[in-house]
Every structure is written in C-alpha cells, then in structure tokens.
Structure 1
Amino acid sequence: MNFNSFKNKIENLKYAKLGGLDAQFKLAPKMRLKYDADKIRAKNPKRAAVLALFYPNKNNETCFLLTLRASYKGTHSAQISFPGGKIDKTDLSLKNTALRETFEEVGIVESSISVIKELTDVYIPPSNFLATPFLGYVSQKPTFNLNYEVDKTIEVLLKDLLNDCNLSSTNMNTSYMSNVEVPCFKLNDYIVWGATAMMLSEIKELLK
C-alpha cells in the first residue's frame, strides 16, 4: 500500500470499530484461550504498552516496525515484538509508556510520532503482563538507534501483513511450553506468533 493511501485512511481508522478478542484469537495460541476476563483479573497482571509504528520506506510503500529482542535470561528472549515495555511510575498514561519505550529501544523521538488510536489489550500468560497496543505513524522513515534490549529492527511491508498467504502455523518449543502447534504470521522469513501475532491480527482486520 502506498503511504499516501495509508494516510488517507487515518481519519477513518480513528473511529473504526476494533475487532477485539474475536480478531486477536484468530492468531492466539491455545494456552491463551484458557484465560477469560475473570481469570486475568485474578492474576493481577503487570501493565505494559507497545507501539505498532507505520512509516514509508524509500519507495513510499507503507511499512511497520517489528523488533527482534536481544537474548537474555527471560521469558521473551530473542522473540519478535513491537517496541514497548512495562509502565513506569513517571508515565502519565499507557500511551506515554508506549512512546517512551519506543524512544528508549529504537530511538524515535516522541514528538515525531502521531498516535492514531488505542487497540485491544492482550494478556500474556507466561510473563503475566497485560499489554496495551497503540497504532501510530511517522511521516518519514526513521533513523533507528537501538539500545541493549533490541538485537535488530525488522521492516515489514503492510501488504505482506494483509496477504493471507502469510498466515500459517508452526511447532514451538520455548522455556514454558514444548512441542506445541501455534498459529503465526510468516513475515520477512521470521515467525511472528503469540501476543504480537494477536495484535497484528486485530490490526490486519482494522486496515482491511
């Protein structure tokens, strides 16, 4: 999709109805389906926020940013995610959390980002986080400056997300599950699954 076409959609996106859990659960691992709203509340999850950031590439095609997390001794080591992280006591809102974390992780200044809307919360059982995604954009391709939490940036064409041929499933082994088939997106030769895939599923429906 041409970035001018994407920008022309922004006003409609602001008021468009979200697909919510119905959209997210199309890409949810089976273990996530066990948690309803009451079970999530009982877990008293930690709060976090992420940013799905769209921008034009050098050919003016609409792209969005994913990151490959650095390897560390933790639940989400070396996984694909949006920039983001847990709320800090200095953050005025979850939107501020998403913007602050984006700056800290990939170096994009808050003032350059226009936030379009808040998306549906995603509960992440392995780390007991409730993450709020935000949809935003910048008008020019950013210059990325990565911190220690990020191994690399991944630039994905929006048209690849919208292409149903990139929906798939894969067998996963992680620190908290083994030999489990999960739905996923295959984007830029990366397997994108779990919470990030659930967020992308809602974004895909919104943009279609």
Structure 2
Amino acid sequence: MITDLKDFLTERLLKALPGDNAHQQMMAKPIGQRFKMKYSEPPKKGAVMIALYPFDNKVYFPLMKRPPYQGVHGGQVSLPGGKKEDSDQTLIETAIRETYEEIGVKISDQQVIGSLSDLNVTASNFIVKPVISILNEKPEFSRDPREVEHIFQAELEHLIHPQTIQEKELTVAKEVRLKAPFFDIDEKVVWGATAMILSEFVEILKEHYK
C-alpha cells in the first residue's frame, strides 16, 4: 500500500501541482469589513513536514496542537515545522530539523520524496514549503512541551472523504470574524494555513485513490 503511494507521489510531485487553486478552497474569508495585513519586512521562509507512515494497513501522518499563546497560530492544529534557521542549508533541512525538535521524529534525506507548492501565509508573514516524506513504520513520538500540547495521527484516506471538510465561523485577534472551511480530523478543527496545504495534498491524493 505505502509502496504504491510512494511510487505515485515521487512521480506526481515532479509534475505541475494544483497550487493556489487548491489553497483557495480552504482559505478563511472575513465576515463584514475586509482587512489587509501590512508588513514592512519581506516574508520569512519556513517549512513543514507531512511524514507518511503505515500502521494497521492504513497510511497516517502526524499533526499537532500548539499550546495557547499570543501569536497568530497559538492553540491551532498544525504540521510539524517552523522558521528556516541560518544553520539550515535548505528548507528540506528546516522541515527535518523542526520535525525532530517538535515531535521527536528523525527523518533522513533519503525518506524525503518531494514537496508541495509554497504557501504565502499572510497572517504571520511567512512563505512555507510543505515537504513530504515516507517512513517505513509508525515512529515513536516525543513532543516538545513548549511547542506542542498534543500529537495525534491523521488517516490519509480520511482526508478525501467529502464529510471531512466542514465550515464554521471563527473569531480571531479578539475582533476579526472569519468564515473558515476546515478539516474535521480526530474531532479537531484543522483550518488556516494547514488546511490550505492539506487541500492541495487532497487534490493530488484524489488522483491516486480514485
């Protein structure tokens, strides 16, 4: 099962990707007055990891819930990842390093099979590269309590079920109301940048699981 998926993704990720069209499907829309984020600095670079692994004849990947904090992504569900450091030669190195630091999973260069389209996350002024890796077995997780409140696993085929995508109204920054599409995964609301990244991944997976 995962061997077939690896072969498919390794080849598919070299071709044209759904990109922005897929991202837009899961973009939260403001309710009422529109607002625009303005930054004096260019976007920072970052990367996240979609680490696929087999377990009980299914394919999963880890997601994590961040602790509540004052930043724009506090309390949200995300993929492991973060900001590119000066010590990182590439954004793939960033994704590998952050995955180990946040959830304790070591990933080698050889396990990385490609990446999805870069995503401009205007809420935090980041451009994020989603990296995809495939592991031979379910890893042992060890969370960094400062960065991660909870780690849980998402089943890959669950993502492409129509009922997985829902919509709700959210209030962020105390006063900004949004109509937000989200993935309902393990009874958790996966929205925002993570949902936009997964939206592109879903479009690609539909080609494999059709």
Under a length normalisation based on structure 2, what TM-score does the superposition of the two structures give? 0.87
Moved over 4 A (4+): 39-43
Distance 1:174 1:150 in 2: 20
Residue aligned with 2:176, SS = coil
2:24 matched residue in structure 1: 25
Whether the aligned pair in 1 keeps the contact of 2:95 and 2:131 (CA below 8 Å) is: yes
2:81 matched residue in structure 1: 84
Unpaired runs of 5+ in structure 2?
none
197 and 42 in structure 1: CA distance in 2 versus 1, 3 angstrom threshold: same
CA RMSD of aligned residues (A): 2.3
2:193 matched residue in structure 1: 195
1:103 matched residue in structure 2: 100
41 and 133 in structure 1: CA distance in 2 versus 1, 3 angstrom threshold: farther
Distance 1:43 1:112 in 2: 31
Task: Report the structure, 1 or 2, having the larger helix content.
Answer: 1
205 and 110 in structure 1: CA distance in 2 versus 1, 3 angstrom threshold: same
2:120 matched residue in structure 1: 123
The residue identity in structure 1 corresponding to 2:21 is D
Q: Name the % identity.
A: 32
Deviates more, 1:115-124 or 1:134-143: 115-124
Distance 1:4 1:93 in 2: 26
Q: CA deviation at 1:184?
A: 1.2
Q: CA deviation at 1:158?
A: 0.8
The residue identity in structure 2 corresponding to 1:82 is L
12 and 112 in structure 1: CA distance in 2 versus 1, 3 angstrom threshold: closer
Aligned residues: 202
Unpaired runs of 5+ in structure 1?
none
1:68 matched to 2:65: yes
- Superposed CA deviations along residues 30-57 of structure 1, whole A, max 9, x for unmatched, are 36x988xxx9998511111111111112
Q: Which of the numbers 175, 178, 189 marks the counterpart of 2:176?
A: 178
Under a length normalisation based on structure 1, what TM-score does the superposition of the two structures give? 0.88
Q: CA deviation at 1:16?
A: 3.6
- Superposed CA deviations along residues 81-105 of structure 1, whole A, max 9, x for unmatched, are 1000001000001111011000100
